[in-house]
Protein backbone atom coordinates (compact mmCIF):
# COMPACT_ATOMS: atom_id res chain seq x y z
CA UNK A 1 0.00 0.00 0.00
CA UNK A 2 1.28 3.48 -0.86
CA UNK A 3 2.05 5.83 1.96
CA UNK A 4 0.17 9.11 2.20
CA UNK A 5 2.08 12.21 1.13
CA UNK A 6 3.51 14.46 3.80
CA UNK A 7 0.79 16.84 4.95
CA UNK A 8 1.28 20.31 3.50
CA UNK A 9 1.18 23.24 5.93
CA UNK A 10 -2.07 25.21 5.81
CA UNK A 11 -0.19 28.50 5.41
CA UNK A 12 0.95 27.53 1.88
CA UNK A 13 -1.72 28.77 -0.51
CA UNK A 14 -2.83 27.01 -3.67
CA UNK A 15 -1.93 30.16 -5.62
CA UNK A 16 1.61 30.20 -4.27
CA UNK A 17 2.12 26.56 -5.10
CA UNK A 18 0.89 26.96 -8.68
CA UNK A 19 3.60 29.47 -9.65
CA UNK A 20 6.16 26.73 -10.18
CA UNK A 21 6.29 23.50 -12.15
CA UNK A 22 7.36 19.88 -11.67
CA UNK A 23 9.31 18.20 -14.48
CA UNK A 24 9.78 14.43 -14.41
CA UNK A 25 12.17 12.09 -16.08
CA UNK A 26 10.33 8.88 -16.99
CA UNK A 27 12.29 5.66 -16.56
CA UNK A 28 13.47 5.24 -13.00
CA UNK A 29 11.32 8.11 -11.71
CA UNK A 30 7.71 7.46 -12.76
CA UNK A 31 8.14 3.75 -13.41
CA UNK A 32 10.97 1.26 -13.35
CA UNK A 33 11.33 -0.30 -16.76
CA UNK A 34 15.09 -0.71 -16.42
CA UNK A 35 14.92 -4.51 -16.54
CA UNK A 36 12.94 -4.37 -19.79
CA UNK A 37 15.47 -1.97 -21.31
CA UNK A 38 18.33 -4.19 -20.22
CA UNK A 39 16.69 -7.25 -21.78
CA UNK A 40 16.05 -5.27 -24.98
CA UNK A 41 19.71 -4.24 -25.28
CA UNK A 42 20.80 -7.83 -24.62
CA UNK A 43 18.43 -9.14 -27.29
CA UNK A 44 19.64 -6.51 -29.76
CA UNK A 45 23.28 -7.40 -29.09
CA UNK A 46 22.49 -11.10 -29.60
CA UNK A 47 20.69 -10.36 -32.89
CA UNK A 48 23.70 -8.37 -34.08
CA UNK A 49 26.25 -10.92 -32.92
CA UNK A 50 27.78 -8.50 -30.42
CA UNK A 51 28.54 -8.55 -26.70
CA UNK A 52 27.77 -5.76 -24.22
CA UNK A 53 30.67 -4.78 -21.99
CA UNK A 54 30.37 -5.17 -18.18
CA UNK A 55 28.57 -2.24 -16.58
CA UNK A 56 27.17 -1.09 -19.93
CA UNK A 57 23.62 -0.63 -18.76
CA UNK A 58 24.35 1.66 -15.82
CA UNK A 59 26.59 3.83 -17.98
CA UNK A 60 23.97 4.08 -20.73
CA UNK A 61 20.99 4.89 -18.52
CA UNK A 62 19.46 8.26 -19.41
CA UNK A 63 21.33 8.58 -22.71
CA UNK A 64 19.68 8.69 -26.14
CA UNK A 65 20.08 5.55 -28.21
CA UNK A 66 21.99 7.26 -31.00
CA UNK A 67 24.68 8.40 -28.58
CA UNK A 68 24.81 4.97 -26.91
CA UNK A 69 25.29 3.20 -30.24
CA UNK A 70 27.71 5.75 -31.71
CA UNK A 71 29.84 6.66 -28.68
CA UNK A 72 29.39 4.19 -25.82
CA UNK A 73 29.18 0.96 -27.82
CA UNK A 74 30.97 2.32 -30.90
CA UNK A 75 29.06 -0.14 -33.08
CA UNK A 76 28.78 2.20 -36.07
CA UNK A 77 28.99 5.83 -37.16
CA UNK A 78 26.58 5.41 -40.07
CA UNK A 79 23.39 7.47 -39.41
CA UNK A 80 21.09 5.03 -41.21
CA UNK A 81 22.51 2.06 -39.31
CA UNK A 82 22.26 3.94 -36.01
CA UNK A 83 18.60 4.67 -36.75
CA UNK A 84 17.94 1.02 -37.62
CA UNK A 85 19.56 -0.26 -34.44
CA UNK A 86 17.85 2.34 -32.28
CA UNK A 87 14.41 1.58 -33.72
CA UNK A 88 14.92 -2.15 -33.32
CA UNK A 89 16.00 -1.77 -29.70
CA UNK A 90 12.78 0.12 -28.90
CA UNK A 91 10.67 -2.48 -30.71
CA UNK A 92 12.27 -5.11 -28.49
CA UNK A 93 11.61 -2.97 -25.41
CA UNK A 94 7.90 -2.65 -26.23
CA UNK A 95 7.71 -6.41 -26.74
CA UNK A 96 9.19 -6.87 -23.29
CA UNK A 97 6.69 -4.62 -21.52
CA UNK A 98 3.76 -6.20 -23.36
CA UNK A 99 4.81 -9.58 -21.97
CA UNK A 100 5.80 -8.26 -18.53
CA UNK A 101 3.75 -5.11 -17.78
CA UNK A 102 5.31 -2.40 -15.63
CA UNK A 103 3.70 -0.38 -12.83
CA UNK A 104 4.33 3.10 -11.43
CA UNK A 105 6.97 3.13 -8.73
CA UNK A 106 5.72 3.16 -5.12
CA UNK A 107 4.59 6.61 -4.05
CA UNK A 108 4.35 8.03 -7.57
CA UNK A 109 0.57 8.15 -7.94
CA UNK A 110 0.02 9.67 -4.49
CA UNK A 111 2.62 12.35 -5.17
CA UNK A 112 1.19 13.20 -8.60
CA UNK A 113 -2.27 13.47 -7.05
CA UNK A 114 -0.97 15.90 -4.43
CA UNK A 115 0.59 18.08 -7.14
CA UNK A 116 -2.64 17.96 -9.13
CA UNK A 117 -4.71 19.03 -6.11
CA UNK A 118 -2.32 21.95 -5.55
CA UNK A 119 -2.61 23.08 -9.16
CA UNK A 120 1.08 22.53 -9.89
CA UNK A 121 1.64 22.00 -13.64
CA UNK A 122 3.59 18.84 -14.44
CA UNK A 123 5.54 17.76 -17.49
CA UNK A 124 7.75 14.91 -18.63
CA UNK A 125 11.23 15.49 -20.06
CA UNK A 126 12.78 12.20 -21.10
CA UNK A 127 15.16 10.64 -23.60
CA UNK A 128 12.62 7.81 -23.81
CA UNK A 129 10.97 7.55 -27.25
CA UNK A 130 7.42 8.88 -27.26
CA UNK A 131 5.95 5.53 -28.29
CA UNK A 132 7.37 3.93 -25.14
CA UNK A 133 5.61 6.49 -22.95
CA UNK A 134 2.37 6.53 -24.91
CA UNK A 135 1.98 2.75 -24.71
CA UNK A 136 1.70 2.84 -20.91
CA UNK A 137 0.07 6.23 -20.15
CA UNK A 138 -3.52 5.06 -20.50
CA UNK A 139 -3.13 1.51 -19.13
CA UNK A 140 -1.51 2.95 -16.00
CA UNK A 141 -3.98 5.86 -15.74
CA UNK A 142 -1.24 8.50 -15.79
CA UNK A 143 -2.09 10.63 -18.82
CA UNK A 144 -4.17 13.18 -16.92
CA UNK A 145 -1.30 14.16 -14.65
CA UNK A 146 0.97 15.61 -17.35
CA UNK A 147 0.23 18.73 -19.38
CA UNK A 148 3.38 18.42 -21.49
CA UNK A 149 5.49 15.48 -22.64
CA UNK A 150 8.82 16.15 -24.37
CA UNK A 151 10.79 13.14 -25.60
CA UNK A 152 13.97 12.35 -27.46
CA UNK A 153 12.26 12.92 -30.81
CA UNK A 154 11.48 16.53 -29.84
CA UNK A 155 15.06 17.67 -29.23
CA UNK A 156 18.32 17.79 -31.13
CA UNK A 157 20.61 17.15 -28.18
CA UNK A 158 20.18 14.54 -25.45
CA UNK A 159 21.05 14.77 -21.78
CA UNK A 160 23.32 16.08 -20.26
CA UNK A 161 22.37 18.92 -22.61
CA UNK A 162 19.50 20.84 -20.93
CA UNK A 163 17.40 21.14 -24.11
CA UNK A 164 14.72 18.61 -23.11
CA UNK A 165 14.04 20.29 -19.75
CA UNK A 166 14.11 23.80 -21.21
CA UNK A 167 11.56 22.71 -23.82
CA UNK A 168 9.23 21.42 -21.09
CA UNK A 169 9.49 24.71 -19.18
CA UNK A 170 8.81 26.67 -22.36
CA UNK A 171 5.68 24.65 -23.17
CA UNK A 172 4.41 24.93 -19.60
CA UNK A 173 5.02 28.69 -19.63
CA UNK A 174 7.11 28.58 -16.45
CA UNK A 175 10.60 30.09 -16.08
CA UNK A 176 13.33 27.44 -15.77
CA UNK A 177 14.38 28.85 -12.39
CA UNK A 178 10.89 28.04 -11.09
CA UNK A 179 10.97 24.38 -12.13
CA UNK A 180 12.03 21.35 -10.10
CA UNK A 181 13.26 18.29 -11.97
CA UNK A 182 12.90 14.75 -10.63
CA UNK A 183 15.76 12.61 -11.95
CA UNK A 184 17.39 9.27 -11.24
CA UNK A 185 20.48 9.48 -13.46
CA UNK A 186 23.65 11.59 -13.19
CA UNK A 187 23.37 12.77 -16.82
CA UNK A 188 19.82 13.98 -16.15
CA UNK A 189 20.86 15.76 -12.97
CA UNK A 190 23.59 17.55 -14.91
CA UNK A 191 21.05 18.52 -17.58
CA UNK A 192 18.68 19.95 -14.96
CA UNK A 193 21.47 21.96 -13.35
CA UNK A 194 22.55 23.32 -16.72
CA UNK A 195 18.93 24.35 -17.29
CA UNK A 196 19.04 26.37 -14.06
CA UNK A 197 16.41 24.22 -12.34
CA UNK A 198 16.07 22.73 -8.86
CA UNK A 199 16.70 18.98 -8.73
CA UNK A 200 15.37 16.11 -6.64
CA UNK A 201 17.39 12.93 -7.08
CA UNK A 202 15.42 9.68 -6.95
CA UNK A 203 17.65 6.85 -5.73
CA UNK A 204 16.86 3.55 -7.40
CA UNK A 205 18.67 2.87 -10.64
CA UNK A 206 21.66 4.62 -9.06
CA UNK A 207 22.57 4.67 -5.34
CA UNK A 208 22.02 7.89 -3.41
CA UNK A 209 25.75 8.63 -3.24
CA UNK A 210 25.87 8.81 -7.06
CA UNK A 211 23.18 11.51 -7.11
CA UNK A 212 25.36 14.42 -6.10
CA UNK A 213 24.55 18.04 -6.84
CA UNK A 214 20.86 17.66 -5.96
CA UNK A 215 18.76 19.87 -3.71
CA UNK A 216 17.28 16.75 -2.17
CA UNK A 217 17.62 12.97 -2.61
CA UNK A 218 14.71 10.62 -1.90
CA UNK A 219 13.95 6.96 -2.42
CA UNK A 220 10.21 7.52 -3.00
CA UNK A 221 8.46 10.59 -4.34
CA UNK A 222 5.92 10.54 -1.52
CA UNK A 223 8.70 11.39 0.93
CA UNK A 224 8.18 14.94 -0.34
CA UNK A 225 5.42 17.37 0.59
CA UNK A 226 4.16 19.86 -1.98
CA UNK A 227 4.43 22.63 0.60
CA UNK A 228 8.11 21.86 1.13
CA UNK A 229 8.78 22.17 -2.59
CA UNK A 230 6.72 25.35 -2.86
CA UNK A 231 8.99 26.88 -0.23
CA UNK A 232 11.89 26.61 -2.66
CA UNK A 233 10.18 29.11 -4.93
CA UNK A 234 9.21 31.86 -2.52
CA UNK A 235 9.87 35.24 -4.08
CA UNK A 236 9.07 37.02 -7.37
CA UNK A 237 7.03 34.98 -9.84
CA UNK A 238 8.06 34.75 -13.48
CA UNK A 239 7.14 32.86 -16.61
CA UNK A 240 9.25 31.79 -19.53
CA UNK A 241 9.98 34.24 -22.30
What are the pLDDT digits (tens) for 175-199? 999 999 999 999 999 999 999 999 9
Kindly tell me if the per-residue pLDDT of 163 is higher than 70. Answer: yes
* Cα 91 to Cα 97, 131, 138, 171, distances in angstroms: 10, 10, 19, 29
Q: Which CATH architecture has domain 14-32+104-233?
A: 3-Layer(aba) Sandwich (3.40)
| Rounded percentage of the chain residues whose pLDDT exceeds 90 | 69
More confident residue, 4 or 128: 128
The share of the chain scoring above pLDDT 70, in percent, equals 89
- Model pLDDT for residues 79-104, shown as the tens digit of each residue: 999 999 999 999 999 999 888 888 99
pLDDT band with cut points at 50, 70 and 90 for residue 220: very high
Summarize pLDDT for 54-64 with one digit per residue, the tens.
989 888 877 88
Q: Tell me what pLDDT residue 18 has.
A: 58
The pLDDT assigned to 2 comes to 40
Of the residues 8, 25, 184, 222, only one is catalytic, namely 25
Q: How large is the greatest C-alpha to C-alpha distance in the chain, in angstroms? A: 61
| Helices and strands per DSSP (H, E), number in the chain | 10, 6
Q: Is 222 annotated in the active site?
A: no
Question: One of 8, 27, 32, 184 is an active-site residue; which one?
Answer: 27
Is 27 known to be catalytic? yes
Q: pTM of the predicted model, to two decimals? A: 0.78
Amino acid sequence: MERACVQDPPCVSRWAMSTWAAVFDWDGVILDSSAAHERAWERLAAEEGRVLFPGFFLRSFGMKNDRVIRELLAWTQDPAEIERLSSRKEELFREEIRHRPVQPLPGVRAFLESLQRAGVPCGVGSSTPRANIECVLDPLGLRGFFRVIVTGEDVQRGKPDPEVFLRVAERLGIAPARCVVFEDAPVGIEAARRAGMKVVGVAGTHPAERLSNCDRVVRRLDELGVGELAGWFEGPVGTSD
